Structure 1
Amino acid sequence: MKVFVYGFREEERVYFEECAKQYGIAYATCSKRPTLENAHLACGYPCISILSTPCDAALIESFHRKGVRFISTRTIGYDHIDLAAAKKVGMGIGNANYAPESVADYTIMLILMTLRKMKLIMKSTELQDYSFESVQGRNLKGKIVGVIGCGNIGTTLIRHLAGFECDILAYNRHIKPELLPYAQFCDLATLLKKSDIITLHLPLHEETYHIINQERIAMMKDGVILINTARGALIDNEALIKGIEKGKIQGAAFDVVEGETGIYYQKQKGRVLPSREMLLLNSYPNVILSPHMAFLTDDSNRDMVYHSMESCLAFMEGEEDAMRIL
């Protein structure tokens, strides 16, 4: 079986080599994301593996003309792929799961950093300002944490948060009985009104696009903390900025931001970024941004590569695949 790998990173090499030996896979790589300009590299490869970069109709059609029949994204989310275009040409699509602890624990880190004003503390330390001015934080114990979305990551987060002696509210399509010892399930409006900290763990689709908007921010407690390690477009940036500037949102931390595509995962030093909203958010002393890297651990890297290769293998052999989207 042959697979062409886009967005290849050196830290993935050991896992691709393991898969090649274990499953008899011949693979080639390109460190760049797939584009119309480099799509020709996939000629002769029925399967390709990509990361979270836009894969629109034109690119999918180009790959299809070159003989690609299956696209596996080494990510849980697949909103960067035009599924309608893929379905139209008969292109198979799959995603990849990975250790939920990576994002769950990163989320807890962001919650604690925001509560304790770590961005301001670190910047003050760089300037040799060792005073206590403006850096008094808050404890997590006793706070009400609202978790929106209880998939693998949200479920793991709730279990890990339970040890901090905070009260947890959960919003999900369905109640998960295994979480009842740790969290109370409620409707979204109740969660927004009662939570001191709100963290997002939803996939991005039509129903969840801008699920956090001006109306829902207005429903939140004054001084709420908002965390997003899922997908940037779950939050309306304009409404978010207004909420921060008016003091409604006291602190925030985002591993993902709407408009990040084409900016994150590249060296941007000395460049004018094409997103005023990201620049504004990054300028606030009470907002932490990180470049969509909550997943980035050794365990997750291994899982992403293995699951992507196993998905390609299942497609080629006509086997059932839990990671299959189309």
Structure 2
Amino acid sequence: MRLSFFSAKPYDKKSFGLAHAARDPPSPVTITYHDIPLNEDTVSTVRDADAVCAFVNDSLSAHVIETLARQGVKAILLRCAGFNHVDLAAAARHGIMVANVPSYSPEAVAEFAVALIQTLNRNTHRAYNRVREGNFALHGLLGKTLHGKTVGLVGVGKIGLATARIMKGFGCRVLASDPFPSPAFEEYGEYKDLDTLLSESDIVSLHCPLMDNTRHIINGDTIAKMKKGVLLINTSRGGLVDTRAVIKALKTKHIGGVALDVYEAEGSLFYDDHSGEIIHDDVLMRLMTFPNVIVTGHQAFFTEEALEEIAQCTLRNLEEFIKEGTCKNSLTKEPELRSKVPDPVRNV
């Protein structure tokens, strides 16, 4: 089995190399790493591959999938939970299995979300820069005590649940909105409808999948329902947030601060070094001029433990496919049902 691996970074090669070498019995898979992303411009580079491995910002449109099918590809392995960038219907039509990694170290993402909350609230990012310039003044760095504040979680899959557990430990009141309530959350907080959650929360943290009905769930209308001075955190998917609406709310001071680990137009920017280039995304550049905005490069998942879990699960998916023609994490067993209720993504 020959696997073409796209958007490969040094840490991917290391984690997958270690997992591949440790397979017992030895893996029948040969991996070819490509630093480039997989999209309509690069799909022609797939040669003599039985499967491809893609990441969150690779594009697996109907055209890309059709081309892969013509080249004999039988499986698409996603080393991520989300699959909004994959045309599952096209994959099903062409008989290509698509499998994801439905859960990997949810605590990693939850811990990073909490780190963003603390940094944004206490202005530690600004304090760090001040002190390096010899400025030890505290003016402008005033924060709020988290204990007793209300935290609203939009989505409580595994990551949202882990975030709830941490924020409960801080002494916060925790609210959640989710179309699929889980009894596991009730130990840490209470469910509310989205409008109530937005109106009562001092901090709103997004942990839901990107689907048609969640795209721009944070927009001008929903922002208007939020408390004045609310902190908004997104470690899930960039498309959940209407960036222009957020900028407008920052300018009017209705939103008190924003921390984003994801961005709706991140595909051409994130995971690469653009420090020597002019970035032409005027919306992102405007967003980053605000002192009460933190943007990081989709790194919430980025821990040693998570990388190991991703590599192990991805290789297991492929090995199961070799033996059975499918795997338990396949997204194309029941494509019509999956498109309506994409359960695996709820882990994000």
TM range (shorter): over 0.9
CA displacement at 1:41 relative to structure 2: 4.2
Superposition CA RMSD, Å:
1.6
1:297 to 297, 303, 307: 303
* Deviates further, 15-24 or 250-259: 15-24
Number of the residue aligned with 2:6: 6
CA displacement at 1:38 relative to structure 2: 3.9
CA displacement at 1:192 relative to structure 2: 0.3
CA displacement at 1:5 relative to structure 2: 1.2
Change (3 A) 1:323 1:176: same
Task: Tell me, yes or no, if the aligned pair for 2:210 and 2:240 is still in contact at 8 Å.
Answer: yes
CA displacement at 1:10 relative to structure 2: 2.4
Letter in 2 for 1:219: K
2:90 to 85, 91, 116: 85
2:137 to 127, 131, 134: 131
Task: Tell me, yes or no, if the aligned pair for 1:232 and 1:257 is still in contact at 8 Å.
Answer: yes
Number of the residue aligned with 1:48: 52
Letter in 2 for 1:236: D
Measured in 2, the distance between the counterparts of 1:252 and 1:68 equals 42
CA displacement at 1:20 relative to structure 2: 4.6
Measured in 2, the distance between the counterparts of 1:55 and 1:320 equals 19
What is the aligned length? Answer: 326
Letter in 2 for 1:63: L
Letter in 2 for 1:271: E
Task: Tell me, yes or no, if the aligned pair for 1:147 and 1:199 is still in contact at 8 Å.
Answer: yes
Kindly provide the CA deviation profile for residues 43-82 of structure 1, in whole angstroms up to 9, marking residues without a partner as x.
2221111111222222222211111111111111111222
Number of the residue aligned with 2:342: none
Measured in 2, the distance between the counterparts of 1:242 and 1:36 equals 34
What SS class does the counterpart of residue 272 from structure 1 fall into? coil
Alignment of 1:58-73 (within 5 A): 58-73=63-78
What SS class does the counterpart of residue 323 from structure 1 fall into? coil
Measured in 1, the distance between the counterparts of 2:167 and 2:325 equals 38
Letter in 2 for 1:46: D
Alignment of 1:79-228 (within 5 A): 79-96=84-101, 97-228=103-234
Number of the residue aligned with 1:315: 321
Task: Tell me, yes or no, if the aligned pair for 1:44 and 1:67 is still in contact at 8 Å.
Answer: yes
Structure 2, unmatched stretches of 5+, are 333-348
CA displacement at 1:30 relative to structure 2: 1.3
Structure 1, unmatched stretches of 5+, are none
TM-score (structure 2 length as normaliser): 0.89
Task: Tell me, yes or no, if the aligned pair for 2:97 and 2:326 is still in contact at 8 Å.
Answer: no
Measured in 2, the distance between the counterparts of 1:54 and 1:278 equals 21
Letter in 2 for 1:216: T
User: Is 1:19 paired with 2:20?
Assistant: yes
Task: Tell me, yes or no, if the aligned pair for 2:117 and 2:233 is still in contact at 8 Å.
Answer: yes
Task: Tell me, yes or no, if the aligned pair for 1:43 and 1:68 is still in contact at 8 Å.
Answer: no
Kindly provide the CA deviation profile for residues 89-113 of structure 1, in whole angstroms up to 9, marking residues without a partner as x.
2322111131101100000000000
Number of the residue aligned with 1:256: 262
Change (3 A) 1:21 1:129: closer
TM-score (structure 1 length as normaliser): 0.95
Task: Tell me, yes or no, if the aligned pair for 2:153 and 2:177 is still in contact at 8 Å.
Answer: yes
Number of the residue aligned with 2:36: 32
Measured in 2, the distance between the counterparts of 1:20 and 1:27 equals 11
Letter in 1 for 2:50: P
What SS class does the counterpart of residue 24 from structure 1 fall into? coil
CA displacement at 1:226 relative to structure 2: 0.3
Measured in 2, the distance between the counterparts of 1:184 and 1:50 equals 37
Measured in 2, the distance between the counterparts of 1:317 and 1:247 equals 57
Task: Tell me, yes or no, if the aligned pair for 1:12 and 1:302 is still in contact at 8 Å.
Answer: no
Task: Tell me, yes or no, if the aligned pair for 2:40 and 2:59 is still in contact at 8 Å.
Answer: no
Identical amino acids, percent of aligned pairs:
30
Task: Tell me, yes or no, if the aligned pair for 2:13 and 2:33 is still in contact at 8 Å.
Answer: no
CA displacement at 1:21 relative to structure 2: 4.6
What SS class does the counterpart of residue 252 from structure 1 fall into? strand
* Deviates further, 76-85 or 298-307: 76-85
Letter in 2 for 1:222: K
